[in-house]
């Protein structure tokens, strides 16, 4: 596999640390827990989209784009990191935010990630929940083209084969760290949404013949749909990399039992996980992704499905800026 032939702009502080979670390990009394700190990628409070943007923004620059267009939910971490990357590279960023929750509190609609989008100089437009966001972006791109601009459209979550290369790279980085530290990793757990993170990891781990079990914890779709999305994108990423043979379908595993009533809607498990990590490890999770992913990990440890002889790595995909968009979801309101 020859990842170096794909254009890349360095945006992240890489490699991110791989650290033990000693307090949480002791508290849960199960497997040895570790955390891969992709919340520390450095770009505007960090997160997993930074790695994807290293490849996406390189493609945008290669096409001489002067404006990037992207979309996400109101409290999108992807939109915020795209706005920051565009600012750093001297490009304009236009964001379409979809109302996927119906929340109207000003913290949700204008604080957290939305505040940072604007602080980075992005222009923001809203769309109703259920809009065809890809079509909406293409309409904006066509309009900007007519005005003489050069738009580059980044799909939601940065999840296409080019963006997924960022997580192919992350898989190689993690395998190198495991060698350096002499750490046998049994399971890698992370939140999976628009699928690019898991697709890139699947492709990277399979390309390296790794025996690590990769477990995505879904935050949006039911299992069949989520696994189908990940597998489809992983296969397209595999093809982009020019790898031979077929990616085994069994390499894609998503557990979607922790979504609750829907994307971006709080669950008791999420609230517990966010507070637990904040109070035992001093680590900030988020209400939409890493909080639900950690809720899944904690529950699987408690059920004995992840066992004491295992080393489990939780990939922290970031998102703490969204905490400020969900003040009511954290169980901290004064009466
Ligand atoms: C986008 C995001 C994810 C999910 O990654 P996908 O590549 O969209 O599956 C997980 N955690 C956080 C904090 C995110 O912002």
Asked whether residue 333 carries a pLDDT value surpassing 80, the answer given is no
pLDDT, residue 23, reads: 98
* Environment class of 187 (CB within 10 Å of its CB; exposed 0-12, middle 13-18, buried 19+): buried
**d(CA 251, ligand 1 centre) in Å:** 19
**d(CA 28, ligand 1 centre) in Å:** 25
**d(CA 146, ligand 1 centre) in Å:** 33
Supply the mean pLDDT for the chain. Answer: 97
DSSP element (H, E) containing 26:
helix 22-28
* Ligand 1 mutation pick, 204, 286, 289, max ligand atoms within 8 A of CB: 289
**Which atom of ligand 1 is nearest to 191's Cα?**
10
Residue range 286-301, pLDDT digits in tens: 999 999 999 999 999 9
Q: What is the mean pLDDT of residues 221-247?
A: 97
Q: Which two tokens stand for residue 189?
A: 């757990």
Whole-number percent of the chain with pLDDT over 70: 99
**Which atom of ligand 1 is nearest to 289's Cα?**
11
Confidence of residue 34 (pLDDT cuts 50, 70, 90): very high
Asked whether residue 65 carries a pLDDT value surpassing 70, the answer given is yes
Q: How far apart are CA 239 and CA 83, in angstroms?
A: 29
Q: How far apart are CA 158 and CA 170, in angstroms?
A: 15
**d(CA 277, ligand 1 centre) in Å:** 18
**Which atom of ligand 1 is nearest to 159's Cα?**
7
Q: What is the mean pLDDT of residues 237-263?
A: 97
**Which atom of ligand 1 is nearest to 163's Cα?**
7
Asked whether residue 258 carries a pLDDT value surpassing 70, the answer given is yes
Residue range 135-149, pLDDT digits in tens: 999 999 999 999 999
Q: Which residue has the least CA distance to atom 15 on ligand 1?
A: 77
How many helices (H) and strands (E) are present in the chain, helices listed first? 11, 10
Q: What is the mean pLDDT of residues 264-284?
A: 97
The residue with greater pLDDT, 327 or 6, is 6
Q: What is the mean pLDDT of residues 147-172?
A: 98
pLDDT, residue 328, reads: 87
Instruction: Give the residue numbers annotated as catalytic, written as ranges.
Output: 76
Instruction: Count how many Cα atoms sit within 13 Å of the Cα of residue 291 in the half-sphere of its side chain.
Output: 29
| Order of all β-strands in the sheet with 32-37 | 18-20, 32-37, 311-316, 187-192, 213-218, 254-255
Which stretches within 99-250 are classed as H helix? Answer: 106-110, 113-119, 133-146, 161-181, 196-207, 223-240
Asked whether residue 200 carries a pLDDT value surpassing 80, the answer given is yes
Residue range 80-135, pLDDT digits in tens: 999 999 999 999 999 999 999 999 999 999 999 999 999 999 999 999 999 999 99
Q: Which two tokens stand for residue 84?
A: 């920051």
Q: How far apart are CA 266 and CA 329, in angstroms?
A: 6
Q: Which residue has the least CA distance to atom 8 on ligand 1?
A: 194
**d(CA 266, ligand 1 centre) in Å:** 16
**d(CA 76, ligand 1 centre) in Å:** 9
pLDDT, residue 335, reads: 54
Which region, left, alpha or beta, applies to residue 146 given φ > 0 means left and ψ of -120 to 50 means alpha? Answer: alpha
Asked whether residue 334 carries a pLDDT value surpassing 90, the answer given is no
Nearest residue to 21 via CA among 303, 315, 229: 315
pLDDT, residue 329, reads: 87
Confidence of residue 332 (pLDDT cuts 50, 70, 90): confident
* Ligand 1 mutation pick, 49, 97, 170, 320, max ligand atoms within 8 A of CB: 49
Q: What is the mean pLDDT of residues 198-219?
A: 98
**Which atom of ligand 1 is nearest to 39's Cα?**
13
Ligand 1 pocket residues where CB is under 6 Å? 47-48, 77-78, 157, 159, 191-198, 286, 289-290, 317-319
């Amino acid at each position: 596999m020859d990842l170096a032939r794909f254009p890349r702009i360095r945006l992240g502080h890489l490699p991110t640390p791989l650290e033990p979670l000693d307090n949480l390990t002791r508290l849960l009394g199960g497997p040895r827990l570790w955390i891969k700190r992709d919340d520390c990628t450095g770009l505007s409070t960090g997160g997993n989209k930074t790695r994807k943007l290293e490849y996406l923004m390189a493609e945008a620059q290669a096409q001489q784009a002067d404006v990037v267009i992207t979309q996400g939910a109101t409290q999108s971490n992807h939109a915020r990191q795209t706005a920051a990357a565009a600012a750093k590279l001297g490009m304009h960023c236009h964001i379409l935010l979809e109302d996927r929750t119906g929340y109207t509190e000003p913290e949700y609609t204008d604080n957290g990630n939305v505040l940072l989008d604007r602080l980075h100089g992005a222009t923001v437009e809203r769309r109703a929940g259920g809009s065809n966001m890809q079509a909406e972006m293409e309409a904006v791109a066509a309009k900007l083209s007519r005005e003489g601009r050069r738009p580059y459209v980044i799909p939601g979550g940065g999840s296409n084969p080019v963006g997924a290369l960022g997580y192919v790279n992350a898989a190689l980085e993690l395998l190198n760290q495991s060698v350096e530290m002499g750490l046998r990793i049994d399971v890698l757990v992370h939140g999976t949404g628009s699928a690019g993170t898991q697709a890139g990891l699947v492709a990277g781990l399979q390309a390296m013949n790794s025996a690590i079990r990769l477990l995505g914890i879904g935050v949006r779709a039911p299992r069949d749909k989520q696994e189908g999305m990940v597998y489809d994108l992983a296969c397209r990423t595999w093809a982009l990399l020019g790898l031979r043979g077929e990616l085994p379908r069994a390499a894609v595993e998503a557990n979607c039992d922790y979504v609750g009533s829907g994307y971006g809607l709080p669950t008791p498990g999420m609230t517990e996980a966010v507070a637990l990590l904040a109070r035992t490890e001093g680590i900030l999770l988020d209400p939409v992704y890493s909080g639900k992913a950690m809720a899944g990990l904690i529950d699987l440890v408690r059920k004995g499905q992840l066992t004491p002889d295992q080393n489990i790595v939780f990939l922290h995909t970031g998102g703490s800026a969204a905490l400020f968009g969900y003040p009511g979801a954290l169980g901290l309101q004064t009466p």
